[in-house]
Amino acid sequence: MKHFDNRIAAITGAGSGIGRALALQLAEHGAILALADIDEPGLEQTRARAEELGARVSVHRVDVSRREQVEAYAAEVEAQHGGCQLLFNNAGVSLVDTIETMDIEEMEWLMGINFWGVVYGTKAFLPLMRRAEEAHLINISSIFGIIGFPTQGIYNASKFAVRGYTEAMRIELAGTSVGVSCVHPGGIRTQIVANAKIAEENVQQTRQNFNQQFEKLARTSAEDAAAIILKGVLAKKVRILVGGDARFMDIVARLFPSRYEVLLRLNKMIGR
């Protein structure tokens, strides 16, 4: 994609974090925004700030785990804006627990948002994007879609699934007008960890301690993450690593696929 001016951009999870940062930076570049989230107050705050930057904005309350709501979102975007050239499947949640103790219902909840939300968004918006002269579809995975991480088993599963789904789609759409990128952020200073479901009794970790450790490790701001993502889209990158930690862990995992957990000391993080 050569530029964002007058491009219609649909963004899920736009009420905070990377989603909000993407919306505001796209607004500065002249994009037309169709913003979705289940967090209506956060969504309205993003709308207000984007409109202050001069953007044309529509907001849509959408639970991405509900296919009918995502399909309605795509239909509303087409009706209000006439199409879609950019789709950011960004909405996501986190669950901290061991695989042995994790409830199936909690796993289904997370997969519904993190994986099926991406699938529903892709299926609903891709027909609109295929009609565009130029379009780009961006799915947000994670560095945890590249390495396994203790107490993040189902989050890993969802992000590895997003990665595989996106890479297959990229190959299928090669040579068409639709570009495809898979984004792998490292530690980003957003509310995803603060809002995570944490099984404190199973992971021997309090929410306060978990949040404090994350704050120390998360070196990249949502604004910097959004800037890296948008730069990658303009450069037509198929794989976008966000943050020095993501780049480092990706290198370690590729060089030592069978023992990266030892080199990264991940095996020391779970008490036996």
Active site residues: 155
Cβ-contact 15, 36 below 8 angstroms: no
Cβ-contact 10, 86 below 8 angstroms: yes
Cβ-contact 190, 222 below 8 angstroms: yes
Q: In this structure, what token pair is assigned to residue 69?
A: 């709501």
Q: Return the amino acid letter for 93.
A: V
Q: Return the amino acid letter for 185.
A: P
Close Cβ partners of 85 (under 8 Å, ≥ 6 residues apart): 1, 7, 8, 9, 129, 132, 134, 135, 136
In whole angstroms, give the CA distance from residue 86 to residue 37: 17
CB neighbours (10 Å) of residue 250?
A: 18
Q: What are the angstrom distances between the C-alpha of 53 and each of 23, 28, 39, 46, 227?
A: 10, 6, 21, 11, 17
Q: What are the angstrom distances between the C-alpha of 117 and each of 57, 103, 213?
A: 22, 20, 29
